[in-house]
Structure 1
Amino acid sequence: MIFKPSLQKLPTFLFGALVGALSTLALTVLLTEEKLPSPTTINERPPLSPFISSARNESIPPAAPQSPRKQTTSLNPAILESPSVPASKQSVERLLAGLFKNEKAYGSNEFKDLAYLVRNDKRIAAQIRSRIEESSSYDETMTLVALLASDNSPETLDYATTLIESMEPEMQGLGYELLSSMDNKGHSTELKTALLDASLYESNPDTLSDIIYHLGKAELNEAMKSEAVESLQHLMSYSEDSAVTARAIDGLSRLGDQDSIYYAVLEHLNHPDNTVKVSAINALYSLDKSMLNQSIIESLQDLSNSQEESETARDYAANFLESYQSTE
């Protein structure tokens, strides 16, 4: 049987349906007016606690900077950075081979490395001394002498003394060259004695110049100074070589003995050889002004005005007179 609502109950049914629809609509409007959280708000982390937040804001100290790696221009940095490890004889020979091939040997990396080794390893210094005696090349020998001069040790000074005491002029020359390169101002007693002995018999003007130079640099006691003056006076008075005479006058000037300088000037101011004459004029700069007499001044005036004298002698005489008059 089919249910058929009566016409009398229809208004009541419609009214109930209408009320239900209105209630549903009102509930929907109410829900949509509420602010719902957005997806991003939902996904956000909760705020940090004050303790954690302050810890996060603290700056992290930077890492300690690493010291830059030691730079070196050495061709063999292992040698320079590990001085406690002795260099082998073979490695030194390799450095020497490279040094001798270099046209600018003294400024090369090999020279710097070898000079360092010579200063810090006595075995290497001894190896260089042996090479000096074995070398047959002048250029190589002088380079080796310059290397050895990097070492101011007593052993090297003794070696220079031994060379000077040698009877071979070439070895003597190497000894003086080594001393000049070392620039050792003190000198040992043995070296001073060797220089004094050499001054007694030396007849080569160039070698005598070396002897005088080093005697002048040496700190001679009164006895040694007196002996040196006596040797040079003997050479000045009795040598038949004008160059030796001139160098002897230079040596007396360097030693500063006033009586010997005065005597040298008086005896050689009018010497026929121009080199000796110029040395005598130069000696006046080492002479105390109180010892300059009128005779010396007049001789200098004659020299400066004479056309028979060399231009060099005239200039030296005129220059000294000018400096002397400016100090009066």
Structure 2
Amino acid sequence: MTTCPFGTRRTRRWIPWLSIAIPGIGWLVFGLYPSVATVGYSFTKYSGLPGTALNVCGLCNYRDAFTTMLPDVAGSLKVTIIYVIAVTLLQNGVALGLAVLLKEKRPLYGLYRALIFMPQIFSVAVVGAIFSLLLDPYSGPVAHFLHSAFGITSSLLGSTTLALPLVIVVNVWMFTGYSMLIYIAGLRHIPKEVYEAGALDGAGRWAVFRHISWPLLAPATTVNVFLTAMGSIGEFALILVLTNGNFGTRTLGLSMFTTAFGSNSQLGYGSMLAMLQFFLTLVIGGGLLVVLRRREVSM
């Protein structure tokens, strides 16, 4: 029997199975089990604290969400929908504009793309700390500029009218670079002959973008819009760091996190909120895929 650096042939047969088993076990432990446990906990009155009783109550949490707790749930759902729509539209619009400007391989364009993408690699804690200092209403440079230049005094992240828009802007600033790179890849995938044909027909820049670039960017648009919307639905970390969910920024994801793992832990009710977020993700994600894929086919 021949040998190899990895042992006998019989031994080598187990190597593929082992390479599959290790990540498979990891997925079962850290992926499937928490998901199934969340479904189970949503039917209980359970705080999640060690030593506390696990009281099965059936649909009690769901009943409370649509009766006594309906104002809180409806408010969080409204903020979540506004947040998702605003981030998705703004991030993709800015990313597309930057992609059109920086798609060419020219001097310094690579540096510009790297600088725009750089916030993507920062942790949420770092981004939150930076913008908390910048937007500090007492000593922050933004508040000082508004007061000195326009005579405007605002609490910024402490304002019920500005807190949510500012959080949206920070989110867009952090993740636009990723969407930009996807759009650049889509633009570079469009054959140059198509643009040359448009130029021969006398099409200007806007006509070329409208009738050539935008329709042929349909696959990249599908990816970007879907990823942005799905990420926005579950966003809570950035909001937690910047506003802690105060001043009209409490999304469904943040409500779920603070309810399940906050100081007054209610893991059962928090799990129910996670299930509501899951169904919201299915509805929005499924609807987006249907609309965007249909657009790809029609283009």
- Please identify the structure whose Cα radius of gyration is greater: 1
TM-score normalised per structure 2 = 0.20
Specify which structure has the bigger relative contact order, considering alpha-carbon pairs within 8 angstroms and separated by 6 or more residues.
Answer: 2
